[in-house]
Amino acid sequence: MEGIHVIVSIVERGRGTAIQKLYKKHAVFLHTQCPGRGTATSEIMDILGLGSSEKDVVLSYAESGTARRLLALLDNELRGAAGTAGIVFTLSLSGMNNLAAAAIDYYAQQNKKGNGGEPPMENQSKNSLILVTCVRGSADQIMVTAREQGARGGTVIKARWSGMEELERGYDLELTAERDIVAIVVPNDKRKDIMEAVNAAHGLRTPEQAMICSAVPWAMTRPPWLPAPGPISTI
DSSP string, 139-202: HHHHHHHHHHTT----EEEEEE--S-HHHHHHHT----SEEEEEEEEEEHHHHHHHHHHHHHHH
Residue 117, in any domain of the structure: no
Q: For residue 70, give the 3-state DSSP assignment.
A: helix
Look at residue 189 and tell me if it is in a domain.
yes
Residues 139 and 195 in one domain: yes
Which residues, 6+ apart, have CB-to-CB distance to 98 below 8 Å?
Answer: none
Report for 29-33, 80-84, 137-141: range of highest mean pLDDT: 137-141
Residue 223's pLDDT band (boundaries 50, 70, 90)?
A: very low
- Do 76 and 141 belong together in one domain? no
Query: Would you call 44 helix, strand, or coil by DSSP?
Result: helix
132 and 191 housed in the same domain: yes
Kindly state whether residue 44 falls inside one of the protein's structural domains: yes
Same domain, 174 and 80: no
Same domain for 144 and 76: no
User: What confidence category does residue 199 fall into, taking pLDDT thresholds of 50, 70 and 90?
Assistant: very high
Contact 139, 182 (CB under 8 A): yes
**Residues 96, 151 within the same domain:** no
- What would the mean pLDDT of 56-78 be, rounded to a whole number? 85
Residues 156 and 92 in one domain: no
Structural domain includes residue 233: no
- Residue type, position 188, single letter: N
Q: What's the total number of domains in the chain?
A: 2
Q: What is the CATH number of the domain that holds 43?
A: 3.30.70.120
Label residue 80 by pLDDT band (50, 70, 90): confident
Is residue 234 domain-resident? no
What is the domain range of residue 89?
Answer: 4-112
Residue 174 is assigned to a structural domain of this protein: yes
10 versus 169: the higher-pLDDT residue is 10
Say whether both 91 and 185 belong to one domain.
no
Q: Is there a contact between 229 and 87 (Cβ–Cβ < 8 Å)?
A: no
Task: Report pLDDT digits (tens) over 85-105.
Answer: 788 888 876 566 566 677 777
Q: Per-residue pLDDT for 50 more than 70?
A: no
The answer on pLDDT for 151 being more than 80 is yes
